């Protein structure tokens, strides 16, 4: 600030202090910062309109368009078992270790709830990663072998569990 501006500010303050006390108090209230609102501190009242907005109502902003789910990490693999999540991989490993086991036994072997196992079995069956045998139990699909290959064919192996 220049000297002239400081002199003008001093003169203005001297004039304000000469006003009656109720007027000074009211001006002080106008200039004081607003106190915090009671409650949890959230202010649910709308903000006052700015000078660029009309007094009839503020224009509504359009929501941002949905960009879809963001997928991070490694790129997707291909194949029936490629989409298996960690829980499904655990379930596949339990099925491999306990062939012919019931859903309850698989839930205990995989340390998962029965409902989670049932959902995982349903998803894996939908993708063709597992199938039901004649007794209604879930199993890994047996590879279709030609008579020339004989017993050398093995059922597909689940992908290794990664953490």
The closest of 106, 104, 113 to 140, measured between CA atoms, is 106
pLDDT tens-digit series, residues 47-75 = 666 655 555 555 677 777 776 766 666 65
Q: Is residue 99 part of a domain?
A: yes
Q: Is residue 14 part of a domain?
A: yes
- Give 141's contacts (C-beta < 8 A, 6+ positions apart): 128, 129, 130, 131, 155, 156
pTM (2 d.p.)? 0.40
pLDDT tens-digit series, residues 96-119 = 888 888 888 888 888 889 998 888
Q: Is residue 59 part of a domain?
A: no
Q: Considering its fold, how many domains does the chain have in total?
A: 2
Query: Which of the four pLDDT bands, split at 50, 70 and 90, describes residue 11?
Result: very high
Q: Is residue 158 part of a domain?
A: no
The closest of 84, 83, 102 to 92, measured between CA atoms, is 84
Q: Is residue 160 part of a domain?
A: no
Q: In this structure, what token pair is assigned to residue 82?
A: 């490629």
Q: Is residue 133 part of a domain?
A: yes
Q: Is residue 68 part of a domain?
A: no
Question: Which domain CATH number covers 103?
Answer: 1.10.10.10
Q: Is residue 91 part of a domain?
A: yes
Q: Which domain holds residue 113?
A: 86-144
């Amino acid at each position: 600030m220049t000297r002239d501006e400081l002199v003008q500010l001093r003169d203005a303050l001297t004039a304000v202090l000469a006003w009656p006390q109720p007027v000074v108090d009211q001006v002080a209230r106008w200039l004081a910062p607003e106190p915090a609102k009671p409650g949890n501190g959230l202010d649910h009242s709308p903000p006052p309109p700015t000078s660029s907005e009309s007094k009839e109502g503020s224009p509504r902003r359009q929501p941002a368009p949905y960009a879809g789910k963001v997928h991070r990490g490694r790129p997707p693999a291909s194949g029936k078992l490629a989409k298996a999540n960690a829980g499904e991989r655990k379930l596949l490993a339990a099925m491999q270790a306990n062939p012919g086991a019931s859903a309850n036994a698989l839930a205990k072997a995989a340390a998962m709830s029965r409902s989670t196992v049932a959902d995982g079995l349903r998803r894996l069956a939908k993708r063709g990663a597992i199938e039901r045998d004649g007794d209604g139990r879930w199993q890994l699909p047996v590879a279709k072998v030609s008579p020339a290959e004989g017993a050398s064919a093995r059922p597909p192996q689940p992908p290794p569990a990664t953490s």
